[in-house]
Structure 1
Amino acid sequence: MLVALLVGAALTACGEESAPRAGTGTAVSSTAPSTPSGVPDLGAAEEIALGIDVPWGLAFLPEGAALVAERDTGRVLRVVAGRAPEQVYQVSGVVARGEGGLLGLAVARDYAETRWVYAYFTGADDNRIVRFRLDGPQEVVFSGIAKAGNHNGGRIEFGPDGMLYVGTGDAGQTNRSPDPASPNGKILRLTPDGRAAPGNPTAGSPVYSLGHRNVQGLAWDRKGRLFAAEFGQNRLDEVNLIEPGRDYGWPEIEGTGGAEKGYTDPLLTWPTSAASPSGIAIAGDTLYVAALRGERLWTARITDTELVDPQPLLRDRYGRLRTVAVAPDGALWLTTSNTDGRGDVRTGDDRILRFPAK
């Protein structure tokens, strides 16, 4: 059963972001490690860092420190509670224009042995994925994803199977999304060295699912199911349950109503005014969705077949929300995105928040 949440009447295009703003990168709080429980305390916000320049990607090192990507500077920062953020890497070749720049980060599942960190960024000619060690050069593992001023996708995550999953956008050309030969408007599934992963729907192809407009959120539940957040155009944003080989309908369908035409319908939708969803995360049986234009954190309960009881939290408290992630200690981390050219900048923006596990 599909759940549609209709909040508010304004239905306008999702326009995501644009210009840069520099930050100071200040540490503002300290906290003791939490005992993981899968239940973040959303009433106990801790400001971990202030003055970050358009924080986008966020990934955790095994010991719990976070790596944070600054979209417009190309810097990778190491963020630890109670300390000033420290630049630990500079990704070369980043061209930050419009919604492009240094986007997603992922840490290799075997980081303790390989020390690999992965980054998705917009370069001079395309969007691409590189990997690097914090003390070494970067190497390209996947390239040729068309770029544009918007719809660059950018989220990368390692799945439970050890493969690298990549959310891409249509780069403003809708015909790319249903085209199996294009990497745009897709969720890609790659090996850690950037090849098409074994077991993909089409042998030798990196495409895992297609018919997407702009995917910026990927997360797995405890059953190993993949969920993805997707920007709508004028009507409805989506959260989809991703299954291999499925077509999610863009540009023929926005929101629900595509099943009778052979497309896969979303589990959850919102008007674009209430969401514009970027990062997502799952803790226990709760899905968390960071909303940009909606300026709130959505939650929904995950059941065997549905996403139910969607709730808007932190509404208008911190402005635009970009990335949400669960730390190794069970805490929920959240980044704002008010210095991206579309937000109302508040003193201290952009900031990184931590909500400890109960």
Structure 2
Amino acid sequence: MSAVLAATALLLAAGCSSGGKDGPGGGKSVTSGGTTPGSPSAPAGEGTRPAKGSVRVVRTVAENLNTPWGLAPLPDGGLLVSSRNDGTIARIDEKSGKKTELGAVPGVSIAGEGGLLGIVLSPGYASDHLVYAYITTDSDNRIVSMLYDAKRPAGNQLGAPNTVFKGIPKGDFHNGGRIAFGPDGMLYASTGETGNRGLAQDRNSLGGKILRMTPEGEPAPGNPFGESPVLSYGHRNVQGLAWDDKQRLFASEFGQDAWDELNAIKPGDDYGWPEAEGKSSNPKYHNPIAQWHTSEASPSGIAYAGGSIWMASLRGERLWRIPLKGTEASAPPQAFLEDTYGRLRTVVPAGGNRLWLTTSNTDGRGGRSTGDDRILEVEVS
């Protein structure tokens, strides 16, 4: 292992919708003490976090959003939110809830689970004002960047998209779609295997992978497979990426019929799909640190706060807390907001012990209520 890759492994060591199995939702505010179903993992590493946590919904930030998917807080205030089915990005004033449309992203093809998915700000946003987006086109899934100019008229604030990375397989299902910049300044993307299971184990395919690249879309230095953007493989459909305070990467993954997963990602490792779903006795596969029955989770976005991973669940209609000790769960996962706001899609740190949380009841699989979809501000511990 090269010195660069060794450093990368130390930095990183730390999974789609499940084909129409997601359930209905509701909507009311709540303070939740949580329940504790799930599968604990043996603790390892640094200090143990409290086994029990709490969640308090502070307020509803915005309502009446259509298929919100990606969420990116702006450094000067405001939240950018992508609409999967409209193919647009809007700015939400986090104080008043006012919505201002930036514009539509050209080239987006909306079908099935595809469309305008994850968004993230450039690491150099203060000077370059670039917004990155993961989009489905007529031919593939790809990552584009666009200039955001708030001085231009509403609806015309996005520049023409520049293709950063293309060729990710697309399908009606399992398109992945989360993008994030890591603490190393590299761009990470989660992809699905589009229902073609063999892609997940094919290291020459971009499907069923976590990818790591430069902001310009080139394979990142120190990647485990030479001049390849592939960081890890054997994934079914990853839609959540987050780093803890030790710069270790975690990812949530949709299972098929048995087990959804939370994984600690190690460069070059095989996470088992389709040969393994959930924990396996085969040592060649990297086991999840926690797993859930698909009816309890179907996880999308994740965030790190207060020593725990927080995981938004679609079919499970709840927010999961997974307290960490090193790269293992230190206690059984704990569920909050069960059957309260319906399907939960994206969770993003809001500073301190607060999170931004989006619902996903207008995507054709939820029981839509008055006011859906929403962005919530929640306080966690």
Query: What's the TM-score, normalizing by structure 2?
Result: 0.82
Q: 1:186 aligns with which of 201, 204, 209?
A: 209
Q: Distance in 1 between matches of 2:217 and 2:305?
A: 28
Any idea what SS the aligned residue of 1:309 has? coil
Equivalent residue, structure 1, for 2:93: 80
Q: CA deviation at 1:45?
A: 3.0
Instruction: Tell me which residue corresponds to 2:304.
Output: 282
The structural deviation recorded for 1:329 is 5.8
C-alpha separation between the residues in 1 aligned to 2:380 and 2:289? 27
The CA deviation at 1:292 is: 0.2
Is the CA contact 2:57–2:376 (under 8 Å) kept in the aligned structure 1?
no
Which digits, 9 at most, give the CA deviation of each residue in 1:36-86, with x for residues without a partner? xxxx97323311111101000011111232110000011101112214111
Alignment of 1:1-16 (within 5 A): 14-16=18-20
User: How well do the aligned residues superpose, as a CA RMSD in angstroms?
Assistant: 1.7
SS at structure 2 position matched to 1:212 = coil
CA distance in 1, matches of 2:63, 2:362: 12
Structure 1 residues 340 and 137 mapped into 2: Cα distance closer, same or farther (>3 Å)? same
Q: Distance in 2 between matches of 1:303 and 1:357?
A: 18
Is 1:297 aligned to residue 319 of structure 2? yes
Specify the code of the residue in structure 2 equivalent to 1:119: A
1:237 is aligned to 2:256: no
Q: Deviations over 1:293-321 (max 9, x none)?
A: 00000101011242123111000000000
| 8 Å Cα contact 2:183/2:247 also seen in 1 | yes
**Structure 1 equivalent of residue 67 of structure 2:** 54
User: Is the counterpart of residue 124 in structure 1 residue 138 in structure 2?
Assistant: yes
Unpaired runs of 5+ residues, structure 2, are: 1-16, 23-52, 150-158
Letter paired with 2:278: G
Change (3 A) 1:263 1:356: closer
2:220 is the counterpart of 1:197: yes
Say how many residue pairs are matched.
324
Distance of aligned partners of 1:43 and 1:328 in 2 relative to their CA distance in 1, 3 Å threshold = closer
Q: Residue 116 of structure 1: CA displacement?
A: 1.1
What is the alpha-carbon distance in structure 2 between the residues aligned to residue 203 and residue 302 of structure 1? Answer: 31
User: Distance between the aligned counterparts of 1:16 and 1:41, measured in 2?
Assistant: 30
* Paired residues of 2:109 and 2:136 also in contact (CA < 8 A): yes
Residues 1:271 and 2:293 are matched in the alignment: yes
Contact 1:150 1:172 in 2 (8 A): yes
Which piece of structure 1 moves more, 265-274 or 72-81?
72-81
- Describe the shift of the 1:192–1:17 C-alpha distance in structure 2 as closer, same or farther (beyond 3 A): farther
Q: Which amino acid aligns with 1:276?
A: S
Secondary structure, counterpart of 2:333 in structure 1: strand
Which structure would you say has the larger RCO, counting Cα contacts within 8 Å and 6 or more residues apart?
2
Contact 1:17 1:98 in 2 (8 A): no
Q: Distance in 2 between matches of 1:41 and 1:68?
A: 26
Query: Deviation of residue 331 (structure 1)?
Result: 2.5
Within a 5 Å distance, the mapping from 1:112-151 to structure 2 comes to 112-135=126-149, 136-151=159-174
In 2, the alpha carbon distance for the partners of 1:51 and 1:89 equals 18
Which residue does 2:154 correspond to in 1?
Answer: none
Instruction: Give the superposition deviation at 1:160.
Output: 0.4
Quote how far apart the aligned CAs of 1:265 are.
0.4
**For residues 330 and 134 of structure 1, do their structure 2 counterparts lie closer, same or farther at Cα, with a shift above 3 Å needed?**
farther
Structure 1 gap segments, 5+ residues each? 1-12, 19-39
Deviations 1:125-161 (A, max 9, x none): 1100000111321100001111111000000000000
> Percent of counterpart pairs with the same letter?
52
Secondary structure of the corresponding residue to residue 195 of structure 2: coil
- 1:1-358 matches, within 5 Å, as 14-16=18-20, 42-81=55-94, 82-135=96-149, 136-260=159-283, 262-307=284-329, 308-328=331-351, 330-356=353-379
1:356 CA drift (Å): 4.6
For residues 220-266 of structure 1, give each alpha carbon's deviation from its aligned partner in whole angstroms, at most 9, with x where no partner exists. 00011100000000100000000000000001000001543x11000
Map of 1:27 onto structure 2: none
Is contact 2:306–2:380 with CA below 8 Å preserved after alignment? no
Report the TM-score when normalising by structure 1: 0.87
